[in-house]
Chain A
């Protein structure tokens, strides 16, 4: 079966974890890992796996653009703002894992196929990937007047990008709760916890719902959790949804697959898993357009 060629820009923790996930994809072929640091562990690992690499950054990739059709950007928001126009000019489909939020938001269980003609899509934030599906699950039963999420992650799994611009997380995620989750208003809180051993990523979702239909909402949430588990196996409810007047509370924890990042980094795992899921959807779309036979049920 033909695969769509992809490249990863950024050979740090996220890019490296994404590399291992792409190697398992039936739709995507990783052809190049792009970094800027010759001593990067991610590049060394890619080379050891026989994947082409460059340590000269995006310019080097753009000299041989036929290498990949889909590009995953796992650098930083600042770097992505520079990369985006260059990649657009080169005609690439870009899946942006940074908080740059240039492209349309995609959260797989909510709008996976919505922007397949877009050239740049963004994955919101780790907290958004973990919580927006739950808000959407409640919203498909009853209107959500207000959604609030609290994402708690291990200090060790918060990189310098997140730390230097923590407002980007809260603002982007809050916007995602409204735009993608369907809440009328949204608020996001992020907490870093330095406990050792590191804690698994946890998310608490609060939704304000008038006279909530407990059975229907619970069922919708359980269905949604199963949908997310298809691509993030470590995504689970800690307890059944709690109902208290017009407040619905949902506790989620996300354990990573441990591909490269440690399992407590569910916050990073859900991003790389979502990136692969979105990349595969683009690949299926491209292949179908080209008339390639797409086997049913995959």
Chain B
């Protein structure tokens, strides 16, 4: 019997938005939230994949306004907590206020792992609105543990209740997770969390490692629905933690049913680790680049892996989706394709 039980946040309706090309409907949101709440998932995240206000040419337009999805979620969530994601620079305090008005109780505020000082006002506002605040340090594989500690302390000083080691590229091995989570645990007086992607097939193992190192909040997505090869599948994580004696408060059979009966039929494509998804983890590239990279690779006639390798080499960060086309055009030109043809494709 474990003393500390991790709290699971299900992000099917946020990270999964990437895999759905941001086409979730209010009916789908209502069905998934309802199932997750019934299964006992304590925190349920709903937002555009790139956070509130993410609907754009750059990331993909949402099928329906975010307000409608939040309203549908709030309607079905019962006593569970509604979480939203916000990336300062993309969304603003205005969207955070809107989400709070729709009943969001947890604000997950994300910055690149070295740029925490851009979110002071957003964390401050979320606290002022009475929300619980989680600070997300994205692409945490890119810097050593000391840097994560420095940035995590900033988020703590702004009022965050928890800081996440966010493996946005699904590029970490269990050792990377251990070093980072342990360092944050030792340096902070607030909770530490962990968010994984399946690009190297290590999502469940890494999440387990994080929990063993003291992470008390972890993320999952049913059927793994998420960017890249997807996130740690909530139903698998719940089953594994149950076997190990952790109490997540989530019913193993019911969460399996949510995944299989509600979420799987919505999925446009299976969540697999193909060579492009594996390349995300291998080259350390932001997972949401996957579908955009497929499109650019096809449009400009270049190998998706070449695009991802080049993006990794340039140390592109989360949100720089415009670089995919930029790099694809450059590669096409290097490979002898006519620039005019490229331009008029």
Binding site for B on A (CB under 8 A): 148, 150, 152, 155, 160, 163-167, 169-171, 187, 189-195, 199, 202, 204, 206, 208, 214, 238-244, 247, 249, 251
Contacts and interface: CB of A to CB of B under 8 A. Distances in A.
A165 B318 CA distance: 20
Contacts of B150: none
Contacts of A240: 339-340, 343
Contacts of B157: none
Given A192-B112, A193-B316, A251-B322, A243 B88 contact: no
A194 to B, nearest CB: 4
Pick from A191, A202, A243 the residue with the most CB of B within 10 Å: A191
Contacts of A163: 115, 117-118
A51 B88 CA distance: 40
Interface string B299-330: 00000000000000011111110110110011
B121 to A, nearest CB: 7
B320 A191 contact: yes
Contacts of A244: 345
A189 B58 contact: yes
Interface residues of B, number: 35
Contact of B121 (A155, A164, A170, A249): A164
Contacts of B345: 242, 244
A163 to B, nearest CB: 5
B269 interface: no
Interface stretch (B34-42, B66-74, B89-97, B179-187): B89-97
Given A155-B114, A169-B89, 14 more contacts: A150-B58, A150-B319, A150-B320, A192-B317, A193-B112, A194-B114, A206-B56, A206-B57, A206-B58, A240-B339, A243-B343, A247-B57, A249-B57, A249-B322
Contact of A165 (B121, B315, B330): B121
12 contacts: A148-B57, A150-B322, A167-B94, A169-B89, A191-B89, A192-B118, A193-B315, A195-B316, A204-B326, A206-B56, A242-B325, A247-B57
A171 to B, nearest CB: 6
A243 B319 contact: no
Nearest to B295: A244
Given A150-B322, A167-B121, A194 B115 contact: yes
Contacts of A160: 117
B344 interface: yes
Contacts of B88: 166-167
B120 interface: yes
